[in-house]
Amino acid sequence: MESRSFKEWDLDKIDDTFGTRQVRRLPILEELLAFEYQADDYETKFLSRLSENYLAFQGDSWNEVELENKLISPVIVFSGIESERFAYFLERDLSATIGEYELSGRVDGMIATGLRNPKVPYFCLNEYKRQTDPNGNPQGQALIAMLVAQKLNDSHADRPIFGCYVIGRNWYFMALVGNEYAISKDFSCVDDEMFDIFRILKGLKVQIEKLL
């Protein structure tokens, strides 16, 4: 049995080790990305202010903690993602044994059942300020966390697991079903795509509620 940190993985290594395969489209991800929601005036003002602040205060230079606190968490919390059955957790440990590997790491954010502590995760988030980061590969870290989440849903192995990674201003959404995963186009927080990010997060809550 080998112990491996999430930071050690990239997409190629995950595919070769666990037999996963990236596909261009997954129906569940397409459904999530197509969710319809129109922000009201209050939401529009709040989201526009976040976009303006990112540009005005040099968001591309923010470190990971600043990015999380000034942009990512405000958008996620404002989307109303939490419910009585699941919550948004930050900087929590996640681990599982898959095959010959004991996989563990700290996930920047996750949506999971539980009130005080996460139990069963359905969505995993990783964020970085640069495409290349000394502490790991953003796509790989997101996917390996999603595989662990899938394992923790073992009694419902057919459940989709959702994910996201953020590189500066750009958000990428992911879905994993069985051994296939797909990654969305990038959505920028500094133009009208901020409303797409918000809309997709609204849809994410709907998708998670369907799983419970």
The string of DSSP codes covering 56-112 is HTTGGG--HHHHIIIIIHHHHHHTT---SSEEEEEEEEEEEEETTEEEEEEEEEEEE
CB-based burial label for 59 (10 Å; 0-12, 13-18, 19+) = buried
Confidence class of residue 158 from pLDDT cuts 50, 70 and 90?
confident
Residue 133 has pLDDT above 60, yes or no: no
pTM for this model (two decimals): 0.95
Residue 137 has pLDDT above 90, yes or no: no
Return the minimum-mean-pLDDT range out of 144-148, 151-155, 178-182: 151-155
Query: Residue 91 belongs to a domain with what CATH number?
Result: 3.90.1570
* pLDDT at residue 132, as a whole number: 52
| Average per-residue pLDDT for the chain | 94
Q: What's the number of domains the chain is made of? A: 1
* Domain interval for residue 107: 2-211
**pLDDT tens column, 38-65:** 999 999 999 999 999 999 999 999 999 9
User: How far apart, in whole angstroms, are the C-alpha atoms of residue 21 and residue 7?
Assistant: 20
